[in-house]
């Protein structure tokens, strides 16, 4: 009896010691990463990234340094955090990536213009501020290289940028985000805005060819030739309205408008496009205020609310309201949806870092094996935790809402 009681007491004491050790370790980790339970959501997400990926090129588990839109999306959110906090760790993370990817002569490592991959243009956005901060001419030279790519980028006969050389006659909705904010910033800063009409034209082509007449939402892609296997034989559009595609498009609008002068004749047109897509996307949010992977078919079997699209839409609504493009009521919608996002997708770990769940994996069209772009293809795509589109858009939405 005595021996049994003694063993029980020792076991309890041992458990208490383990709990104290674990608690002390957790507190130490939280102090080390600078986070507390009261830290802003944007900072929790940013520190989560910094700790998991000491080098920005490692984002999403990338094994070799790569000039890529995934890194630039995250680093763009870090740039916004740096603007708000003046914390140099965010700027340094951006600069280290640029210096890893740009050689001493001012050339992007392993960059081939002949691929005409429009995704390569997106990281150029990071270089405007880096050049202003450092006056390092390498950064300016790379922005000029990327502008030259756009100058010779293959186009549809109607004037839209091909997504890549390997996808002839095709405009993809994410290509608007990859190119237009950079293009607008460059042409306003260095060319007296000479290309603004061309930029507006890219959005006009989306309105004319990628917007679904029934829902007012956008398809992921359009083949002007209508020859590729996934293309609707009448319209040329791909089959599915993908949540993240809508997010890419809305972000492309709000970020391009940052550089479009109000005096320009096409500025009001872009604001109208933003109002139209915002009005229509609100109709398709879930009861909690989030958005589905296949956005217009929430009732489809195995369809799911998806985090990256939801965060991108929240950010776009909040920014659009703050800039005066959208009615004030959209800010309240964004705030409610942000709160729903936290409940649905965000788990806070013991050290106050976070996990964002239900991120759609990267999906595409065509290629080998052939991707048919069907609703089922999108729904069956595996989801991930803490993938870059969700983390970056979450930081942007949190920063825009002051969270």
Q: How many of the other CB atoms lie within 10 Å of CB of 336?
A: 14
Active site residue 302: no
Place of tokens 């800063």: 189
Distances (CA, A) of 217 to 104, 240, 276, 281, 329: 45, 10, 9, 7, 20
SS3 180: helix
Q: How many of the other CB atoms lie within 10 Å of CB of 52?
A: 14
- 374 — alpha (psi -120 to 50), left (phi > 0) or beta? beta
Q: Is 162:116 a contact under the CB 8 Å cutoff? A: yes
- Selecting among 60, 68, 119, 174, the annotated active-site residue is 174
| Tokens standing for residue 68 | 């890529």
CA distance 313 to 290: 9
Q: Is 261:188 a contact under the CB 8 Å cutoff? A: yes
Kind and range of the H or E element at 332?
Answer: helix 329-345
Write the DSSP string, 206-245: HHHHTB-TTTS-B-SEEETT--STTS-TTT-B-S--BHHH
Please choose, from the candidates 354, 352, 339, the residue with its C-alpha nearest in 3D space to the C-alpha of residue 290.
339
Helix 88-101 and helix 69-85, axial crossing angle in degrees, nearest 10 = 150
Please choose, from the candidates 305, 399, 297, 396, the residue with its C-alpha nearest in 3D space to the C-alpha of residue 357.
305
CA distance 250 to 176: 10
What Rg do the C-alpha atoms of the chain give, in angstroms? 23
Q: How many of the other CB atoms lie within 10 Å of CB of 357?
A: 15
CA distance 88 to 116: 34
Place of tokens 């490592």: 109
Residues belonging to the active site: 174
């Amino acid at each position: 009896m005595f021996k049994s009681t003694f063993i029980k007491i020792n076991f309890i004491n041992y458990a208490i010691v383990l709990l104290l050790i674990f608690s002390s370790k957790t507190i130490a980790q939280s102090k080390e990463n600078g986070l507390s339970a009261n830290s802003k959501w944007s900072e929790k997400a940013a520190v989560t990234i910094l700790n998991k990926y000491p080098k920005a090129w490692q984002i999403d588990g990338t094994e070799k340094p790569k000039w890529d839109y995934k890194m630039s999306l995250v680093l763009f959110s870090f740039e916004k955090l740096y603007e708000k906090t003046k914390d140099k760790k965010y700027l340094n993370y951006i600069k280290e990536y640029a210096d890893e990817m740009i050689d001493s002569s001012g050339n992007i490592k392993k960059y081939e213009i002949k691929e005409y991959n429009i995704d390569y243009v997106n990281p150029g956005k990071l270089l405007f501020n880096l050049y202003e901060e450092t006056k390092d001419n390498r950064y300016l030279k790379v922005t000029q290289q990327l502008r030259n790519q756009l100058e010779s980028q293959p186009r549809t006969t109607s004037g839209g940028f091909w997504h890549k050389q390997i996808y002839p006659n095709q405009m993809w909705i994410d290509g608007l985000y990859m190119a237009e904010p950079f293009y607008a910033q460059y042409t306003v800063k260095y060319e007296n805005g000479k290309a603004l009409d061309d930029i507006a034209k890219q959005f006009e082509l989306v309105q004319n060819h990628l917007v679904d007449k029934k829902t007012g939402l956008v398809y992921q892609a359009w083949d002007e030739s209508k020859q590729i296997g996934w293309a609707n034989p009448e319209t040329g559009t791909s089959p599915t309205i993908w949540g993240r595609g809508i997010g890419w498009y809305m972000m492309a609008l709000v970020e391009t408008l940052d550089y479009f002068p109000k005096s320009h004749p096409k500025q009001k047109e872009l604001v109208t496009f933003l109002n139209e897509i915002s009005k229509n996307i609100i109709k398709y949010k879930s009861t909690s205020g989030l958005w589905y992977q296949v956005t217009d078919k929430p009732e489809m079997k195995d369809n799911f609310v998806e985090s990256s699209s939801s965060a991108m839409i929240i950010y776009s609504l909040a920014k659009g309201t703050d800039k005066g493009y959208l009615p004030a009521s959209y800010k309240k919608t964004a705030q409610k949806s942000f709160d729903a996002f936290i409940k649905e997708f965000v788990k806070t770990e013991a050290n106050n870092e976070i996990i964002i769940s239900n991120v759609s994996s990267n999906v595409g069209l065509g290629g080998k094996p052939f991707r048919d772009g069907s609703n089922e293809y999108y729904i069956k795509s595996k989801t991930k935790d803490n993938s870059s589109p969700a983390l970056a858009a979450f930081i942007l939405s949190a920063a825009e809402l002051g969270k």
